[in-house]
Amino acid sequence: MSTYSNYQNAYKKASVNTLDQNKLIIMLYDGAIKNANFAVQYMESGEIEKVHDSLIKTKNIVTELLATLNMEQGGEIAKNLKSLYSYMFSQLIEANMEKKSEPVLTVIDLLKELRGAWVQIKEKKKPEEKKGNASGQGMMQNNQANTEKRIKIKG
């Protein structure tokens, strides 16, 4: 590995380590959405190996989101997110086994909805941080309730 590559890796690691938690979560959602969309495109073009690789990447990101949950401090929100992430995980496995796009499209919808909630939380935190009060839990709970209703309707 060249010296330049070492500097690049060090820079990437430092930039990730200095990002706030909210921004990291949004980046994880972006990566999962991107890879899930690739999987759907590869299914349409019949590139089975690329479908598998994209779904594995998406599944790994969902696993990371699951692993970052703080069940003690997160309360009901963390429990609900755990259920959603587990559901997404199972949908991605089903999609990979059966090479169906419908489960992936369901996961993409959920990821987009949750990402939108985290963006709203981030935007809401900015003015509240100036006041010294940063909390996006209420907004997240409302968005989660809507997402759960959609799952029940679809399921």
Instruction: Report the CATH number at residue 36.
Output: 1.20.120.340
pTM of the model: 0.72
The helix (run of H) or strand (run of E) holding residue 45 is: helix 21-45
Q: Extract long-range pairs of 47-53: CB within 8 Å, 24+ residues apart.
A: 48/99, 51/96, 51/99, 52/96
Query: What pLDDT score was predicted for residue 115?
Result: 97
**Burial status of residue 69 (CB atoms within 10 A of its CB: 0-12, 13-18, 19 or more):** middle
Structural domains counted in the chain: 1
Query: What pLDDT score was predicted for residue 5?
Result: 62
Alpha-carbon distance of 107 to 90, in angstroms, equals 10
Query: For residue 118, how many other CB atoms are within 10 A of its CB?
Result: 21
31: Cβ contacts below 8 Å, ≥ 6 apart: 57, 61
pLDDT at 149 over 70: no
Q: Which domain holds residue 98?
A: 3-154
| Span 10-57, pLDDT tens digits | 545 544 555 688 999 999 999 999 999 999 999 999 999 999 999 999
